[in-house]
């Protein structure tokens, strides 16, 4: 720690001993630095903020509205493209001296460094342009920065309108070419499919479709069986009702005779059976014998002596039975047809696997081509509809939140900070020069330094004794040095005051 303190003391002594060299170097560096700072042209910054509204009611109703992010990203990327920056340079004072292609390329590269397009939010963008040409006045640089931003805004609008229309036309043209190719491929695939189906009608759609047809037929057969069982049950029920219903009824003067007695006995027998009694029951057996006897009497009497009138209920039951019998016959015919179809499909499936595989390939290729063609056709119609919407009303709307204005203060450089930096660098350079010169000479500021260098003990040191005249001269030189330092600081303060006063208005 003592060695560090001694080195610091020696360095300070060396600088102080050569203080005039230090202050001279400081003055030189500061003057050159401040001159360089004064030659830096002022750069003026102009900015604008725009809001992009991506909600379009008409497009949403048509089902073609997107989220707008792709459109925003496209404009954001192309806004600072070389092509657009060339437009900005050609339409402003930046291009007055640009004649050759190399000059334009250099101007575009320089402008690209000073133009920024940033996204503050999803739909809010800020365009910032910084201009500081040395051959223009501050007022011209300020106006030029505003003009650059305004031109970028104009390009923003032009890129949206014409860019959308051009991209839509290009996309429609590309889709038309693709549709022509897909149409030719689809027609060729359809011809192959029709030729194959004409040769193998059972394999239309491929083996997968054949399996589906078998499954559908089996499902249909199960449904027919269920319907047939229900129809057969209904037919049996109506037959039971018909068996218990008399053909004729006896009323009035026809209420006597064998026919009337037979009908009464039959009604009684039907009533007993409806109660669940079997033929072995005594009452049922007795009624059965009575019905047989009366039947013999009716038969012996002949049809002319039977009497009675036709029973309407019996006639209605006959009509119902005929309808249900027709349903049963129809279902049985359908069942036989479906069984025959299933047998034919299964025979076709098992007959030739190679043909079934070919059917699969043809069907698959045709479906893929057809789907691709329909998708491209739908895309083209959607893009064409969007193009019509863009023609009549802009899909996205741009709102200028903060328009560009002529800046009143330069954005760069920060001259107060640069002036202070030059002062610090100048003082440091002076101190460094004095210290470096002290190191070049073989003198020692302290006895300890001499002792460390030669590794020999130092017996003592002799103090410097000066006369009164020399002391007076030293004090006068000290005042002169203080004046030189104060002058350097004073020049810095004056330059700083000039900068603060001059900043604030553009002439």
Q: Tell me, yes or no, whether 55 and 6 share the same domain.
A: no
SS3 218: helix
- For Cα atoms 133, 139, 144, give the angle at the middle one, nearest 5 degrees: 55
Report the predicted TM-score, pTM, of the whole model to 2 decimal places: 0.44
Q: For residue 155, is it within any domain?
A: yes
Q: What is the pLDDT of residues 326-374, one digit of tens each?
A: 888 888 888 888 888 877 767 665 555 566 666 667 777 778 888 887 8
Q: Tell me, yes or no, whether 25 and 102 share the same domain.
A: no
Q: What is the CATH number of the domain that holds 114?
A: 3.30.1890
From first CA to last CA, the distance across the chain in angstroms is 59
- Given pLDDT bands bounded at 50, 70 and 90, which one contains residue 142? confident
Q: For residue 196, is it within any domain?
A: no
Q: Tell me, yes or no, whether 35 and 49 share the same domain.
A: no
Sign of the alpha-carbon dihedral angle for 181, 183, 184, 186: positive
Q: For residue 411, is it within any domain?
A: no
What is the token pair recorded at 448? 């300890």
Q: Tell me, yes or no, whether 314 and 423 share the same domain.
A: no
Q: For residue 326, is it within any domain?
A: yes
Q: What is the pLDDT at residue 61?
A: 38
Q: Tell me, yes or no, whether 163 and 71 share the same domain.
A: yes
Quick check: 304 pLDDT over 70? Answer: no
Q: Tell me, yes or no, whether 240 and 160 share the same domain.
A: no
> Higher model confidence: residue 425 or residue 473?
425
Q: For residue 189, is it within any domain?
A: no
**Domains contained in the chain, number:** 3
Q: For residue 198, is it within any domain?
A: no
Quick check: 470 pLDDT over 70? Answer: yes
Name residues whose C-beta falls within 8 Å of residue 88's C-beta, 6 or more positions apart in sequence: 94, 111, 148, 151, 152, 155
Name residues whose C-beta falls within 8 Å of residue 395's C-beta, 6 or more positions apart in sequence: 56, 59, 65, 71, 164, 386, 389
Q: Tell me, yes or no, whether 92 and 115 share the same domain.
A: yes
Q: What is the pLDDT of residues 206-239, one digit of tens each?
A: 555 567 777 888 888 899 999 889 988 888 888 8
Q: What is the pLDDT at residue 503?
A: 64
Name which of 151-155, 202-206, 328-332 the model is least confident about.
Answer: 202-206
- What is the separation of C-alpha 492 from the centre of its chain, rounded to a whole number of angstroms? 58
Q: Tell me, yes or no, whether 330 and 228 share the same domain.
A: yes
- Mean pLDDT, range 495-501, rounded to an integer: 84
* Residues spanned by the domain of 138: 44-177+380-402
Q: What is the pLDDT of residues 62-98, one digit of tens each?
A: 344 444 556 556 656 667 778 888 888 888 888 877 8
User: In the predicted model, what is the mean pLDDT of the chain?
Assistant: 75
Helices (H) and strands (E) in the chain, counts: 15, 6
Q: What is the pLDDT at residue 353?
A: 59
What is the token pair recorded at 95? 């291009």
Q: What is the pLDDT at residue 258?
A: 63
Name residues whose C-beta falls within 8 Å of residue 221's C-beta, 6 or more positions apart in sequence: 335, 338, 339, 342
Range of 101-110, 119-128, 498-507 with top mean pLDDT: 101-110
Q: What is the pLDDT of residues 129-138, one digit of tens each?
A: 888 777 777 7
Q: What is the pLDDT at residue 54?
A: 53
What is the token pair recorded at 321? 């039975």
Q: Tell me, yes or no, whether 222 and 344 share the same domain.
A: yes
Residue 461: other Cβ atoms inside 10 A = 10
Q: Tell me, yes or no, whether 52 and 142 share the same domain.
A: yes
Q: What is the pLDDT at residue 30?
A: 93
Report the C-alpha gap between 219 and 488 in whole angstroms: 106
Q: What is the pLDDT at residue 164?
A: 54
Question: Look-up: residue for tokens 């893929």?
Answer: 368
Q: What is the pLDDT at residue 490?
A: 92
Q: Tell me, yes or no, whether 361 and 428 share the same domain.
A: no
- Given pLDDT bands bounded at 50, 70 and 90, which one contains residue 421? very high
Q: Tell me, yes or no, whether 395 and 452 share the same domain.
A: no
Q: For residue 182, is it within any domain?
A: no
Name which of 18-22, 446-450, 498-502 the model is least confident about.
Answer: 446-450
> Higher model confidence: residue 398 or residue 342?
342
- Given pLDDT bands bounded at 50, 70 and 90, which one contains residue 26? very high
Q: What is the pLDDT at residue 105?
A: 86
Q: For residue 115, is it within any domain?
A: yes
> Higher model confidence: residue 480 or residue 319?
480
- Given pLDDT bands bounded at 50, 70 and 90, which one contains residue 506? very low
Q: What is the pLDDT at residue 260?
A: 67
- Mean pLDDT, range 306-314, rounded to an integer: 64
Pairing type for strands 115-119 and 309-310 reads: unpaired
């Amino acid at each position: 720690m003592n060695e560090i303190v001694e080195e610091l003391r020696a360095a300070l002594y060396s600088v102080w001993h050569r203080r005039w060299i230090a202050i001279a170097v400081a003055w030189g560096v500061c003057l050159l630095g401040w001159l360089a700072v004064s030659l830096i042209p002022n750069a003026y910054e102009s900015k604008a903020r725009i809001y992009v509204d991506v909600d379009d009611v008409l497009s949403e109703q048509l089902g073609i509205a997107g989220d707008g992010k792709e459109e925003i990203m496209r404009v954001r990327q192309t806004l600072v493209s070389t092509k657009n920056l060339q437009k900005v340079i050609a339409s402003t004072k930046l291009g007055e001296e640009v004649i050759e292609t190399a000059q334009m390329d250099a101007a575009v590269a320089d402008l690209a460094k000073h133009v920024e397009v940033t996204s503050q939010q999803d739909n809010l963008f800020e365009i910032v342009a910084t201009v500081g040409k040395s051959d223009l006045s501050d007022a011209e640089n300020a106006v030029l920065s505003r003009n650059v931003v305004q031109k970028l805004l104009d390009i923003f609008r032009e890129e949206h309108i014409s860019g959308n229309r051009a991209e839509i036309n290009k996309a429609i043209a590309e889709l038309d070419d693709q549709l022509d190719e897909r149409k030719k491929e689809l027609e060729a695939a359809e011809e192959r499919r029709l030729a194959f189906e004409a040769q193998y009608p059972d394999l239309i759609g491929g083996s997968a479709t054949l399996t589906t047809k078998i499954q559908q037929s089996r499902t249909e057969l199960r449904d027919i069986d269920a319907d047939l069982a229900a129809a057969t049950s209904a037919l049996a029920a109506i037959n039971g009702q018909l068996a218990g219903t008399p053909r004729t009824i006896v009323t009035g003067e026809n209420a006597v005779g064998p026919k009337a007695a037979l009908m009464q006995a039959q009604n009684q027998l039907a009533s007993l059976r409806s109660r669940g009694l079997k033929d072995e029951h005594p009452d049922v057996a007795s009624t059965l014998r009575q019905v047989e006897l009366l039947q013999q009497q009716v038969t012996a009497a002949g049809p002319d002596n039977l009497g009675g009138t036709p029973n309407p209920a019996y006639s209605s039951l006959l009509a119902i039975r005929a309808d249900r019998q027709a349903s049963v016959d129809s279902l049985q015919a359908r069942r036989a047809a479906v069984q025959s179809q299933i047998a034919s499909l299964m025979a076709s499936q098992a007959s030739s696997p190679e043909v079934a595989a070919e059917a699969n390939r043809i069907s698959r290729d045709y479906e893929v081509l057809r789907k691709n063609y329909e998708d491209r056709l739908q895309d083209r119609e959607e893009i064409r509809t969007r193009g019509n919407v863009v023609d009549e009303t802009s899909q996205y709307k741009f709102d200028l939140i903060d328009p560009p204005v002529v800046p009143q203060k330069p954005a760069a450089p920060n001259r107060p900070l640069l002036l202070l930096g030059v002062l610090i660098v100048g003082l440091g350079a002076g101190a460094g020069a004095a210290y470096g010169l002290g190191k070049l000479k073989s003198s020692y500021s302290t006895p300890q330094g001499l002792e460390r260098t030669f590794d020999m003990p130092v017996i003592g040191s002799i103090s410097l004794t000066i006369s009164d005249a020399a002391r007076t001269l030293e004090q006068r030189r000290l005042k002169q040095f203080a004046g030189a330092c104060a002058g350097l600081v004073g020049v810095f303060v004056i330059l700083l005051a000039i900068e603060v006063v001059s900043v604030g208005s553009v002439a």
